[in-house]
Structure 1
């Protein structure tokens, strides 16, 4: 059973046997894929027929993933350089290759199927300026990995970096975003390159998360539980800030039915993130903190929704639609 399977199941009595870095390396060799083989331009015709609102929503999600992949590609090397064992280092090198391939996939899709310009994706471009990940989370990840390099791999700092990189970025933000986006794309139909590419990326991210869960569980059991827990609490706060993005005006349909659907999509994404935050505490050996993790997520969500109203003098679409967040699935 993979880490992703365990996160999705409700059977908490299952024995968790996470694979070793060497086993994850073997999976990587068996799960290769090619961006060129996807022929992303085949989706261009279907893309042009989507409604303007749907195109805008999809574009924002894809651009955020592309900007996120660029960020993680640029910051992983410090964790590789200071990995605790050669086995860890070899596996993490495969992850660097994965991240570069993800950058290429999203970039080529946005350029050839969607028709955006490279300038739009730059940090000061239209999509870059609107990216919640790029503006809210990227500076934190960059700082955490910089500290790993400057501390020359000191284990407390390295484990904090793994929490930010693998548990928060990969395990919560990317995973929740990919899950919601894949569901949305399947419901639209006619975007085979995007659907296949997202499936491939999700499979890669599962390996990455699995490594992070195994590494931090080992760390928590060997004297690093305190720093892992403290970093995870900070990660929950930053996760919710990215998800709500209170300083960016949210897409808010005026038609009640469309507004309700938009609120439902956002609530589902937030619920997925909240559920993963809680379940990951169990998998890394900190299950006694699960209730606190849930409370922290909920409190952060309310703070950021309040901040959104303060900044924009308007309710967030989720509150405007009369939904509470997070909500049951």
Structure 2
């Protein structure tokens, strides 16, 4: 599935083509059965449930904020075909959010209101992930407050489509589905995340094309400034304070390496030259080390 998604992104489809593909790939989150998942979840070791719960929390927040923050991108669409495609992405995000609510109820039981679930999920996020959400909200406000401001729009697209979806959601979805396939557990979870992964490949493709167009039109500095601010946080999303259930420095380091590789690939796919990609990623790693040093100092205090 990861390979198929990369093939879609690398083919650089137009917004019109992505709209056609969306029409052929509908899925219904209410038709997925979690009966086997519930029984298997109850039998899992506590450490594994804790690890999977961390992943689930990030998607509960990610799909909710994706739906909530997409409206400024839709309103600022620069082409009619882009507007039509972004309308399909809104529908996708609504479908993803509904699926995550069903998944949580199946595995964890009723959480009461959705606001209670969101609050609990927020508390379980890593420091880097929380900061990324705050930055993304700020970028969305800038886009809303300056309708027609192309610079604000492309900054939000860069964060939303390249980093949030093109790196974090994409990596998380495929890592989870690969692990579930190897273990042959949680079939309803796997089925839904595979469907979300197909959707994400379309979303990412739209964003990458929008970024390439913006850079051709002189917005390279806007894109690079946004990336150098958020990539150090993005590659450290798996670092948690000491003692957090289900978290380990070894897992965080593996995630950092994988996300760094994916980040370099995305930078290449938007048209940056290899020396510039290497320079950007070197700076990103330095800033990430500095950020982790601050987190650990805060944790010790």
Match of 2:46 among 29, 44, 52: 52
What's the counterpart of residue 321 of structure 1?
none
Deviation at 1:177, TM superposition (A): 1.7
Q: How many angstroms apart in 2 are the aligned matches of 1:80 and 1:209?
A: 15
What's the counterpart of residue 37 of structure 2?
43
Q: How many angstroms apart in 2 are the aligned matches of 1:109 and 1:3?
A: 23
Q: TM-score, normalised by structure 1?
A: 0.82
- Asked whether 1:299 is paired with 2:299, we answer no
The C-alpha deviation readout for 1:24-79, integer Å capped at 9, x for no partner, is 00111111111111112331000000001111111111111111110110010111
Q: How many angstroms apart in 2 are the aligned matches of 1:183 and 1:301?
A: 27
The C-alpha deviation readout for 1:84-112, integer Å capped at 9, x for no partner, is 01110100010011111111111110112
Q: How many angstroms apart in 2 are the aligned matches of 1:109 and 1:71?
A: 17
What's the counterpart of residue 266 of structure 1?
252
RMSD (Å), alpha carbons: 2.5
Change (3 A) 1:250 1:103: farther
What's the counterpart of residue 280 of structure 1?
266
Change (3 A) 1:300 1:113: same
- Asked whether 1:313 is paired with 2:300, we answer yes
Q: Within 5 A, what are the aligned runs for 1:109-120?
A: 109-115=103-109, 117-118=111-112
- Asked whether 1:125 is paired with 2:119, we answer yes
Change (3 A) 1:79 1:125: closer
Change (3 A) 1:131 1:147: same
- Asked whether 1:243 is paired with 2:245, we answer no
Task: Provide structure 2 residue ranges, at least 5 long, that are not aligned to the other structure.
Answer: none
> Larger relative contact order (C-alpha < 8 A, sep ≥ 6)?
2
Q: How many angstroms apart in 2 are the aligned matches of 1:124 and 1:99?
A: 16
Q: Within 5 A, what are the aligned runs for 1:14-29?
A: 17-29=11-23
**Conserved in 1, the CA contact under 8 Å of 2:233 and 2:288?**
no
Deviation at 1:190, TM superposition (A): 2.4
**Conserved in 1, the CA contact under 8 Å of 2:105 and 2:111?**
yes
Task: Provide structure 1 residue ranges, at least 5 long, that are not aligned to the other structure.
Answer: 8-15, 254-258, 315-329
**Conserved in 2, the CA contact under 8 Å of 1:233 and 1:293?**
yes
**Conserved in 2, the CA contact under 8 Å of 1:121 and 1:128?**
no
**Conserved in 1, the CA contact under 8 Å of 2:18 and 2:202?**
yes
Q: Indicate the larger mover: 169-178 or 82-91.
A: 169-178
Change (3 A) 1:229 1:206: same
